[in-house]
Amino acid sequence: MALVTTPTVNDGPLFAEVNMSSDFNAPTVRATVVQASTIFYDTPATLDKAERLLAEAASYGAQIVVFPEAFIGGYPRGSNFGVSIGNRTAKGKEDFRKYHSAAVDVPGPEVDRLAAMAGKYKVYLVMGVIERDGYTLYCTVLFFDSQGHYLGKHRKLMPTALERIIWGFGDGSTIPVFETPIGKIGAAICWENKMPLLRTAMYAKGVEIYCAPTADSREVWQASMTHIALEGGCFVLSANQFCRRRDYPPPPEYVFEGTEENLTPDSVVCAGGSVIISPSGAVLAGPSYEGEALISADLDLGEIARAKFDFDVVGHYSRPEVLSLVVKDHPTNPVTFTSASTKIEDKTK
């Protein structure tokens, strides 16, 4: 798979490196976003593919690797799960059963394997998954350090449109920003990146490497990514899948509702558009719309301070006496059991 960066004139393979200016006080971090498709309904095979891509990215010197939204478990593009108001179909329920089966438990064996991959290839790994919590699914991002440790997760706060039928809603307890030797890393998924208050919460936590796994391949997505980089004074790493119709099961097992009759196996159903953008709004690598790719750039972390000098959204450019935000960052559990605390109290008597 080619490593895609800013375009260069070259008759050979597309493997150009971005050399950003750096200084003695700020490190440079090699970042890669993966643009590739899930092997739908086959989580073991998708994990194998993820490891191949991770190994290749590491061979190019990647220190942080970001995968697309729902890479493990799959983004069910075009499916309506047989839902209409007041009705569900038997096939739609079976589609959900298969989708639920392809999801992963957190913690669980698939998470253990992803952690082992991160440690094996010595990279920080940001992976989009479909998380199974009992019989509810969440669109989730998992974070791993380069020593093979699972750091935590972010659950998508607000699924978009029909996603709300199949995914639960995250809460304020999973909006982490992890402080690491290569920078402070956080993530927001797809259209929740359009939520100003969520972005503000992440800025307040000091995010420096802002990961944006997505399923939006439209050109207008680039405007959102550039705005976030400028607004937050952070690097933005957006990863999307590149998928053709043949990357999903054939009909009638899997149907792209409303468009299936117009598709061939080679039809592109998600064109990618993965990109890396600097805090100054410069496009460092991508966007790519040509196929599966590894898209890489070197991040000069000194750019963050230079950008914040102009505009620090939660610092000198904030007006807390006029505008403020309260984030409810505790878990919102539907059921709380008091038996454990009661036993503790009994022992102290």
By annotation, the residues acting in catalysis are 69
Residues 6+ apart with CB under 8 A from 36: 1, 49, 53, 67, 68, 71, 241, 242, 292, 293
What DSSP line would sit under 302-332, residue for residue? HHHHHHHHH--TTTTT--TTT-------S--
Q: What whole-number distance in Å separates Cα of residue 218 and Cα of residue 314? A: 30
Q: What whole-number distance in Å separates Cα of residue 255 and Cα of residue 79? A: 6
- Rounded-to-10 torsion of CA 128, 130, 134, 136: 120
Q: What whole-number distance in Å separates Cα of residue 202 and Cα of residue 211? A: 11
In the β-sheet with 124-133, what is the strand arrangement from edge to edge?
Answer: 3-4, 293-300, 28-35, 64-66, 124-133, 136-144, 150-155
Strands 150-155 and 3-4: unpaired
Instruction: Specify the DSSP element, H or E, that contains 37.
Output: none
What DSSP line would sit under 100-133, residue for residue? HHHSB-SSSHHHHHHHHHHHHHT-EEEEEEEEEE
Q: Yes or no: say if 182 and 27 are a contact pair by the CB < 8 Å rule.
A: yes
